[in-house]
Amino acid sequence: MGDLEPIFPFKAIVFQILFLLVAIALEAMVLRQRLRLGYKQSVRYAAAVNLLTVVVGWFAFLSIEPLMGPRLQAQVISYVLFDNLINNTLKPQMGLIILVVGLIAFFITLVLKLKGLELIMRALGAWKMPSRPKELSRQERYTRSRTGTTQYQEAASQFAIAVLQANALSFSAILLLLVMRSYILRSVA
């Protein structure tokens, strides 16, 4: 690598901070309502979990991008530097590729948020989820046969649904912002 060009990813940083703020605000709202975590605490959890996913995402991108084939790498460079996709043999498939990458990103983020939130709450000693019981008491067996779930399953699914809803909400909001951005830019041009 020779001289460094005076070209910095400042726009990426500004957008990332904006999207993080949006995601944290929305997810904190959902966590507060669904898990009754308290106002400040849910903002903190949402911030930690979103920062975690963003960091993992960056590391994934930075480690996968050098391994890409030249055609895909050209598309990535084109998107990052010029905000368009270049007209190479991969162009017809780019829509599919973006869709698949987006779906994978969504599910990996979901798993990361579930596990990350659990780990952070455990680290803080705030994990109130009943642990998976080895043996069910008579009362619980009775409830299970009546409702089909145990207390543990009930709580775990409550938690998972809350995180899923938070993740879906923040993804939709960011997607909406991205679509709005490209729409506005197109109408200006």
Partner 1 sequence: MIDILKDIVEKFRGLVTPPNYLSWQTCLLLSLFSWLMAALSEASAASPWTVNLLSTFSWLFLTIAIWWGLTKNPVRVGYVSISPWITAAVMCVFVFRPWTAERLQLAMGFWPVVATILVAIPNFFNWGLDWKLPKPPVRQELIVLLLINLLLSSWIMFFFRIQYWFSEYPSLVAENLGNSAFVYRFGADDSGGSQANILLTSAAESLTAQLDNAPWPRAERWLLNLDNSISSVAKEIVLNEESELVFWSLDAPRPQSMSNGYQIKLRANWLGPTAEQNGYYVEKVCTILPRTLKKRTEGAEDTEEPEETGSATPVADVTCSDQTVKVERKVGLDESTI
Chosen residue from 80, 98, 111, 175 binding partner 1 by CB under 8 A: 80
Per-residue contact string for residues 3-22; x = within reach of partner 1 by CB under 8 A: -xxxxxxxxxx-xx------
- The half-sphere exposure of 167 on its side-chain side, counting CA atoms within 13 A, is 22
> Which residue lies nearer to partner 1 by CB, 31 or 48?
48
- For partner 1, the binding residues in 32-61 under the rule CB under 8 A are 44, 47-48, 51-52, 54-55, 58-59
150 exposure class (CB count in 10 Å sphere: 0-12, 13-18, 19+): middle
Letter for the amino acid at 160? A
Q: Does 102 bind partner 1 (CB under 8 A)?
A: no
Q: With contact defined as beta carbons under 8 Å apart, do 19 and 176 qualify?
A: no
Structure token pair of residue 55: 């960091």
> Which residue lies nearer to partner 1 by CB, 97 or 161?
97
Residues that bind partner 1 (CB under 8 A): 1-2, 4-13, 15-16, 44, 47-48, 51-52, 54-55, 58-59, 62, 65-66, 70-71, 74-75, 77-78, 80-84, 86-89, 120, 123-126, 181
